[in-house]
Amino acid sequence: MVIKEIYWLQIPCDDPDIPKIELLFGQPSTSQYRHYKIEGLVEYIENFNYDTYVDYIMLFCSMVKQHKQELIKIGVDLNDIRIWQLNHYDNQCNLFYSAEQMKAMSELGIALCVDCF
């Protein structure tokens, strides 16, 4: 069983604003065209390890919440922010989201986009 989950935080913005958002988050964008994007990867082969798991949904929500006012000043519409979850599974794909994750995204107006392949 091979499972790979890729997470993206995608913030649509004007190209000149990408460096401003990079400074806020302290991470370079993996895309330099019309949006700021950072990525996270969860990969496991046989057994899921909760000790090393990174909850990218909560991490990305925390980053946006921490810099919410600065993002608004830059001109970012928080309702346009997306968290993407791309799932690659060998077999069946089951998804679970906690109430805490759903609340964190909802309070910030962040949409969750999921792609399974």
Q: Characterise 42 by phi-psi region: left (phi > 0), alpha (psi -120 to 50), beta (else).
A: beta
pLDDT at 20: 93
- CA-to-CA distance for 10 and 82, rounded, in angstroms? 5
| pLDDT (0 to 100) of residue 76 | 94
- The letter for the amino acid at 1 is M
Identify the bridge partners of residue 9 per DSSP, sorted by sequence position. 38, 83
**Alpha-helix runs per DSSP H in the chain:** 18-25, 56-66, 68-74, 99-108
Model-wide pTM > 0.75: yes
- Structure token pair of residue 48: 């899921």
pLDDT of residue 43: 61
Nearest to residue 5, comparing CAs of 57, 40, 45?
A: 40
One digit per residue, the tens of pLDDT, for the chain of length 117 reads 557 788 999 999 988 899 999 999 998 898 867 888 888 876 655 555 666 778 899 999 999 999 999 999 999 999 999 999 988 877 777 788 999 999 999 999 999 999 987
Q: Where do the domains of the chain lie?
A: 3-116
